[in-house]
Amino acid sequence: MTALIPLPIAIPLLAAAISVIVGRSRQAQRVIGLVALASTTAISIALLIGADRDGILVAQSGGWPAPIGISLVVDRLSGIMLVTSALMLLAVLIFAIGQGGVERQHVAFHPMYLVLASGVAASLTTGDLFNLFVAFEMMLAASYVLITMGGRADQVRSGMTYVVISLVASTFFIVVLALVYTATGTVNFADLAGRIPQLPQGTQVMFAVALLVVFGIKAGLFPLFFWLPDSYPTAPGPVTAIFAGLLTKVGVYAIIRTQTLLFPAEAQLGTLLLVVASLTMAVGVFGAIAQDDMKRILSFHIVSQIGYMIFALGLFTVAGLAAAVFYTFNNIILKTSLLLVTGLVERRGGSSRLSEVGGLVRGAPLLGLMFALPALSLAGLPPFGGFVAKFAVFDAGVQSSEWVVVGVAAFVSLLTLYSMTKIWAGAFWGDPDDRPRQRPDTSDTLGGPALMMASTAAVVVIGVAVMIFARPLYSLSERAAEDLLEPIRYVSAVMGGRP
């Protein structure tokens, strides 16, 4: 089973190279991309099953033992994230093929998309801080190209903001990495888990805050989120969907991994995380209700929903971490499906602005259904998966007597329902006030091209499946949380039982 661990990284990377070679044939690129991501999905599922059944899986690159060599690790948390990310990457690629647009016009789309997929897998499986930096740079290098495809002035302007902020974050990351290595003599996660507690407590807290800032920029935490609502909405539809749904959650994964594994209880940032979570939830949702564009509304909701995950993490309990894990993978699915529906709305109505579209439910009722299901789940209405996730967060908060943060989360949830209702009333039932900037496409009776509709419907169905199988999925999240709160399991697996 451990031989499979490098494959989610290697297969997309090899496929990207082949995709460059066959760049003259778009059809060949499509086949290569689909086969690579379908294989990655199957392997990720096998790794999750293996990690849940047999315990933490570790592959030591080149046969060098940790901490000398490069460790690739799959535990329950990384397995859950691998499966979710692979499914979303595959669905969005199918959507992009059905849409045409940048996928058809730019030879670099498929290679960059596959490099992005490889970077995501590397981020989720790497067992050391330096290779986490390398994996992030893989994702960022690909995202720089993808986010500016199309060449519109607003894309380039927003893309440059994204590039500059990402470069600043990367620079800060490498500085923190150097300081950690200077203080401890290692960058291996398992080795750091034993060496950081030997440092003075002030130094431990400084490193915890520094890593929170590094990954908080990538996750979109308050007050580091300012780049996100302007950068994501201008990107091509499929790119927005995968960035909004997945990339910020890789940042959340990195926060969860480092804060639980590397730092002892006395250096954990529980209070700071709860304060940041409250502000992130509130600022994100207030930004959302002030917008008129579906993409911008959902982009601000990315920020707001990240707050719930950090709230659950900040409790540092089994219930809290289980809620954080469940909320994270469920939100990836919901956010991806909502952004894919937005792409279909933009194609059908000629715009994503609520004032320029309306009445879509009459001409494309299936489109309305595919929006309503994830929207109600995101708002936390029963019996959807989003309700289970929010109830788990609230329950964990109540158990820890964090009443103020629970109150903020409940209020934000009501405003989330309001903003989803605003989209539903404006885009699907209302009448457009202005003429859309683009020409509407009403030729498809289903609401969009078959591949776009099928991939979006598949993601919505996955979201419904989370609702149906909420009990076993939450139990899996609890087991992942127990692993996170017992870092000795991770250390023993990576170090082979050696101290």
Both structure tokens of 452: 């776009």
Per residue in 381-398, is it b (16+ CB within 10 Å) or e — as a string?
A: eeebbbbbbbebbbebbe
Per residue in 27-46, is it b (16+ CB within 10 Å) or e — as a string?
A: eebbebbbebbebbbebbee
Calculate ∠ Cα 408-413-415, nearest 5°. Answer: 95
- In 3D space, the residue among 385, 396, 393, 423 whose CA is nearest the CA of residue 410 turns out to be 393
Please report the pLDDT score of residue 94 as a whole number: 93
The torsion of the CA quartet 103, 107, 109, 114, rounded to 10 degrees, works out to: 130
Both structure tokens of 75: 């535990």
The domains of the chain are located at 269-468
Per-residue pLDDT 10s for the chain (499 aa) are: 788 999 999 999 999 999 999 888 888 999 999 999 999 999 999 999 999 998 899 988 877 777 888 889 999 999 999 999 999 999 999 999 888 777 777 788 899 999 999 999 999 999 899 999 999 999 988 888 888 776 666 667 767 778 888 888 889 999 999 999 999 989 999 999 989 999 999 999 999 999 999 999 888 888 888 777 777 777 777 888 888 888 889 999 999 999 999 988 887 888 899 999 999 999 999 988 888 888 888 888 888 999 999 999 999 999 999 999 999 999 999 999 999 988 888 887 777 777 777 677 777 788 888 888 998 898 888 888 889 999 999 999 999 989 999 999 999 999 999 988 888 877 777 665 555 555 555 555 555 678 888 999 999 999 999 999 999 999 999 999 999 999 999 999 988 755 4
Residue the block writes with tokens 């494959």: 7
- In 3D space, the residue among 174, 86, 178 whose CA is nearest the CA of residue 125 turns out to be 86
Q: Name residue 271's amino acid.
A: T
pTM: 0.92
Both structure tokens of 90: 């595959």
Residue the block writes with tokens 């994100």: 284
Element containing residue 354 per DSSP (H, E): none
Element containing residue 425 per DSSP (H, E): none
DSSP symbols for 149-190: TT--HHHHHHHHHHHHHHHHHHHHHHHHHHHHHHHHS--BHH
Contact (CB, 8 A) for 59 and 24: no
Contact (CB, 8 A) for 281 and 307: yes
DSSP conformation class of 353: B
What span, in angstroms and rounded, lies between the C-alpha atoms of 329 and 492? 26
Please report the pLDDT score of residue 499 as a whole number: 47
DSSP symbols for 116-146: HHHHHHHHHHB-BHHHHHHHHHHHHHHHHHH
